[in-house]
Structure 1
Amino acid sequence: MGDMRHAMNGPGEIAMRLSWWDMRALSALRPWQTLDFTRLLLAVIYAVVSFGFSSARHWAESAEHVLILLMLLLAFSAVLLSSRSWVTDMRIRRPVIYLDTLLFLALLIVTNPSNSPYFSGSFFVAVEVALIVRRRFHLLVALAAGTAAVGVTWLDEIASLPSEPEAERVVLRACYLAVAILVTGVLLGPRRETLLQFERDRRLLEGELPPAGSDHGPFLLHALRLATRGHGVAVLFRLASHEPLRFASSAAREMPAVGFGNLLTAETGWHDRSRHASISLSADGIAVLGPLSPGGQAWTALLDAETLLTIRVTIGTFEAVGAACLDDPCHEDRAAIAQRVFESACEELTVRNSLDLAHVIAGARERERLQRELHDSVLQALASIRFQIAPLLAGRQVEPLAVIENVDRIAKDQIATIRWIINPDVDEEDFAYLPETLAMVVRSLGEQWGIGCELKVEDGNCATSAMIGRELSFAVREIVANAVRHARATMVNFALEPDGNRIALQVSDDGVPNMARLGSSGAVPSRSLMRRIQMLGGEVFLQNIGGRTTIRITVPRK
């Protein structure tokens, strides 16, 4: 029984501890909560000092006690109401500050404004007022506070009020100093951005995000639960703008039958369906209260929740909107931290997805390279071997030794080629003299196919990189194989010449003219040649000149 009780109370106890840790560690991120508790602390100090040093001063003493009790009641009510709902907290901020300001001014009046022990508290009131007006009006607030402070000092000329005891003034000044140090330490400690960054890193470190597999829904749900600590989460997302939207939910809810409607329009913020209010959180962390937004209404209806937090993240073409069911209250820091944690998780997901895509692309390119190299070397060599032994198999009078020697030479050449294909170890920055490279290839092709092959080199610099020389060598092999096998050519001529910052290679043969040779669907498809030259940044042109098929290839020098 004890173990069962421990197991049942464990999650609740852990949640309570986490909640307590958030309240303790993140209080500096909650200026309004700090303001409410500071107001309550000052009201308690006023009450204790006022009643502790009470003296017979006719009606002014009674008015002082009544005003202080009203201020204490106002401060206690503000703390109680704001802790019940974030919406209520935002709705009562301005009225509470206005009432507190009026009560404090009245307190100064009844305690002899020119010598009031409560005068130092006007600084806190000025800070209160400054927090509810726009920043461009802060200077006006300071001027108004100074004018009011000077004005109330003239009231003693209209009505003479007895001064407060000196001991009360000393105690209040000491209390003001302690409160000022405490509040300054809270508000002027680490900056809000630093605290948000620290809490985001802590949650991500403790959360241990799982690897992002092909199905990104579970990953985003875990990240959303980690960011919001909500008990029910759902997310609507797509990795690219052209992809359809995908929906995932921790409660195994079905995708909305009539579409997503306003779900995708929800911004980062808090939504309270019972109070018909939404609180949007801007990029600078300022919360704005308004009526329940269409996005908030759609999410609360979908998740059947009264209060929830939505987070919107857009990174390039990635877009996601998550919602978490949370119990009120939910303050600014929680929404801001949830936004950062979920955004960081989404960034990691996009990076992982990009890496996976890069690996897929790299794998596809490597497969394409292997196919191209094998096609242009091994398959062409095998076709050449068949071409060499065809007369022998047909029973013609040929010299077997010459055929065997030729086949052996082709096999040796292909052994070296296959080794290079498996482990290419060529420095692409090394330059090679292209005429020498092509001369060896042309001579070898002539021997393989038993045809005439000639290379003519025009005057000029035809030096290029070793990689381009290798690719052109493979292209030449395919061109000759196509000319012999499909056009029955007996003579192939090569012309190599510089062409500005490019190099041109022109190949012509005496085979059957076939203008569709590059586009033929024969045994040797042409897309391998086209792809190889295009990868070099070159171009291929096919033309028929004087009954001879001519192919012109131009490639950059490097």
Structure 2
Amino acid sequence: MIHGHAHLLRTLNGRRSLSLSALRPWRMLDLTRLVLAVVYTATSFGFATPRSWAESAENGIILAMLALAAGTLFLSGRSWVTEMRLRKPVVCLDAMLFLALLVVTDPANSPYFSGSLFVAVEIALIVRRRLHMLVAVFAAVTALLTVWTDEVVAVPSEPDAERIALRILYLAVVIAITGMLLGPGRDTLLERERARRLADSAFPPVKGSAGSFLLQALRIASGGENVAVLFRADSEEPYRFASSRLGDQMPEGNGGLLSVETGWHDRPRGASIILPPDGVGEIHPLSRGGRAWAMALEAERLLTVRVSLGTFDAVGAVQLDDPTHEDVAAVAQRVFEGACEELMVRNSLDLAHAIAGARERERLQRELHDSVLQALASIRFQVAPALDGSIENPRTVIENVDRIAKDQIATIRSIIDPEKDEEDFAYLPETLSMVVRSLADQWGIRCELKVEDGNCATSAMIGRELSFAVREIVANAVRHAGARAVEFSLQPAGNRIALHVTDDGVPNLARLGSTGAVPSRSLMRRVQALGGEVFLRNIGGRTMIQITVPRR
């Protein structure tokens, strides 16, 4: 199936050839030249009249133009290199023959004068853009000189019937060619071909080997079987090699494999054709990179494609036979680029899954630490007096432990399978008041929450994270500072919300960092993940923690 697609694309015949005309503009130019030569031949011999030497000269020139057009179309179809080498000589020769045709058919009244537009177009295509104005001036001067030739030599006029027939046929040719050129543009055709081939092809899984994936992509893009790629997924990693013939073994003398762009390399003809993004190829002597890839694939002719997407860089080479032209190279480039994008997306998804898994593990670890472990610590804290006999009636302690256990069962369920809040809304005074009351019972201390006037509404996620932060703060205050009372103050601060926490525990300088920041990594990560800040200070013999978080 792959070979069929590539062969169909290379031969450029039938309806598909016409639809791909935008990918081979010079092929359309050669075809138009042949059609015009056939029209000239038919009208010249069909309306031939005895006009002495002028008639014979006209017929001879037109036959030469027909032979030139047919030969060019035949030779250019056999090889892309031959086509590139023939372009300028053929255009120059065709222009001179057409100029001679105008001279022998009475330039001022020549029925072939309309064909000068085609000659001007093909001349403009072989010169640099900055010289187009000079070409226009030259064409105008040439037209004036040919018109004045009737003052030098008398040339009989062509019959009116021939003039009318030529105009009608020329108009028909212009309409037909224009209709084909006004079809889908180059980018549209390339995107269609890319989408079709990628949709019809089954790529191997990327997890197995990125090299195998790219080799299959290159086969699909070009239709060849002897393929090789040199690639790297990141600028910091070395290039990796994969080949259908050599496997992962880098060939000896591989210098120059990276010094190629998308194009065609013909070792017998000693030429390399570079295909830039605009599709206008440039022919050069066989490049060092083309020679290196030819040796690696042991191929006489090969197509190379280059894809660079951010830090991703890949060079692919495939052995192909003539005829191969710019349409094959352009389609292969676009399809291979699409496959490389697919590879990057799959790798990104795998990386995203790995990152998501790591973040989920970190969330579970943090929330289990801030809830279950803190609850177990509070149980030990309350059970200790009962174990050493300092409490005569431990029933109160047992009831409190039972209540803590029930709360933790619900907490663990919410940690393992968190419910999404459809409204994504939390009213902090209400949320934190329940947490503060629960902590007071859990640790057997006094906990109070004061709310300043103002809007303290925030997102459900921030409310949840602050609840866990409050649990850790209270646990640290009781366990490490012996606090018996913790006071919370919640107040809005512009587009942020501030939570102040003070306790009556022993000031513990070990809880102070060098800049006053809380060294608790769990608490710091939790608040910083919300875009907030945490500071701990010793003010008047009391420890104060300040947390500020954004509303959203």
Q: TM-score, normalised by structure 1?
A: 0.85
Alpha-carbon deviation of 1:515?
A: 0.8
Q: Residue 505 of structure 1 aligns with which residue?
A: 500
Q: What is the total number of aligned residue pairs between the two structures?
A: 541
Alpha-carbon deviation of 1:295?
A: 3.1
Tell me if the contact between 2:448 and 2:486 (Cα under 8 Å) persists in the aligned partners: yes
Q: Residue 207 of structure 1 aligns with which residue?
A: 201
Q: Secondary structure at the match of 1:242?
A: coil
Deviations 1:34-86 (A, max 9, x none): 22222233334444544555555444344334333332332233223212221
Q: How does 1:55-204 map to 2 (within 5 A)?
A: 55-165=49-159, 168-204=162-198
Alignment gaps of 5+ in structure 1: 1-9, 520-524
Tell me if the contact between 2:212 and 2:242 (Cα under 8 Å) persists in the aligned partners: yes
CA distance in 1, matches of 2:357, 2:187: 42
Cα distance change on mapping 1:432 and 1:56 into 2, 3 Å: closer
Q: Secondary structure at the match of 1:190?
A: coil
CA distance in 2, matches of 1:357, 1:423: 24
Tell me if the contact between 2:10 and 2:323 (Cα under 8 Å) persists in the aligned partners: no
Cα distance change on mapping 1:115 and 1:365 into 2, 3 Å: same
1:423 is aligned to 2:423:
no
1:357 is aligned to 2:357:
no
Alpha-carbon deviation of 1:163?
A: 3.9
Q: Secondary structure at the match of 1:308?
A: strand
Residue type at the aligned position of 1:222: Q
Q: Secondary structure at the match of 2:235?
A: coil
Alpha-carbon deviation of 1:279?
A: 1.8
Q: Secondary structure at the match of 1:420?
A: helix
1:319 equivalent among 309, 313, 320: 313
Q: Residue 363 of structure 2 aligns with which residue?
A: 369
Cα distance change on mapping 1:409 and 1:152 into 2, 3 Å: same
1:463 is aligned to 2:456:
yes
Q: Residue 541 of structure 1 aligns with which residue?
A: 535
2:21 equivalent among 10, 20, 27: 27
Q: Residue 244 of structure 1 aligns with which residue?
A: 238
Q: Residue 5 of structure 1 aligns with which residue?
A: none
Residue type at the aligned position of 1:306: E
CA distance in 2, matches of 1:234, 1:116: 57
| Dislocated runs of 4+, deviation >6 Å | 10-15, 257-260
1:405 is aligned to 2:399:
yes
Cα distance change on mapping 1:12 and 1:310 into 2, 3 Å: closer
Tell me if the contact between 2:9 and 2:327 (Cα under 8 Å) persists in the aligned partners: no
Alpha-carbon deviation of 1:405?
A: 0.5
Cα distance change on mapping 1:427 and 1:538 into 2, 3 Å: farther
Deviations 1:536-557 (A, max 9, x none): 2222334556776654433334
Alpha-carbon deviation of 1:409?
A: 0.9
Alpha-carbon deviation of 1:93?
A: 0.6
CA distance in 2, matches of 1:387, 1:258: 71
1:331 is aligned to 2:336:
no
Tell me if the contact between 1:428 and 1:467 (Cα under 8 Å) persists in the aligned partners: no
Tell me if the contact between 1:513 and 1:547 (Cα under 8 Å) persists in the aligned partners: no
Residue type at the aligned position of 1:292: L
Deviations 1:365-402 (A, max 9, x none): 22222221122111221232233333444455532321
Alpha-carbon deviation of 1:210?
A: 4.8
1:233 is aligned to 2:233:
no
CA distance in 2, matches of 1:169, 1:289: 41
Q: Secondary structure at the match of 1:278?
A: strand
Cα distance change on mapping 1:35 and 1:463 into 2, 3 Å: closer
The Cα RMSD (Å) is 3.3
Tell me if the contact between 2:452 and 2:489 (Cα under 8 Å) persists in the aligned partners: no
Tell me if the contact between 1:514 and 1:549 (Cα under 8 Å) persists in the aligned partners: no
Alpha-carbon deviation of 1:99?
A: 0.9
Cα distance change on mapping 1:259 and 1:478 into 2, 3 Å: farther
Name which structure has the greater RCO, CA cutoff 8 Å, separation 6+: 2
CA distance in 1, matches of 2:156, 2:548: 104
Q: Residue 42 of structure 1 aligns with which residue?
A: 36
Alpha-carbon deviation of 1:280?
A: 1.8
1:224 is aligned to 2:218:
yes
- What is the percent sequence identity of the aligned residues? 60
Cα distance change on mapping 1:44 and 1:497 into 2, 3 Å: closer
Tell me if the contact between 1:460 and 1:497 (Cα under 8 Å) persists in the aligned partners: no
Q: Secondary structure at the match of 1:264?
A: coil
Cα distance change on mapping 1:16 and 1:428 into 2, 3 Å: closer
Tell me if the contact between 1:503 and 1:557 (Cα under 8 Å) persists in the aligned partners: no
1:494 is aligned to 2:487:
yes
Q: Residue 510 of structure 2 aligns with which residue?
A: 515
CA distance in 1, matches of 2:282, 2:504: 78
Q: TM-score, normalised by structure 2?
A: 0.86
Q: Residue 256 of structure 2 aligns with which residue?
A: 262
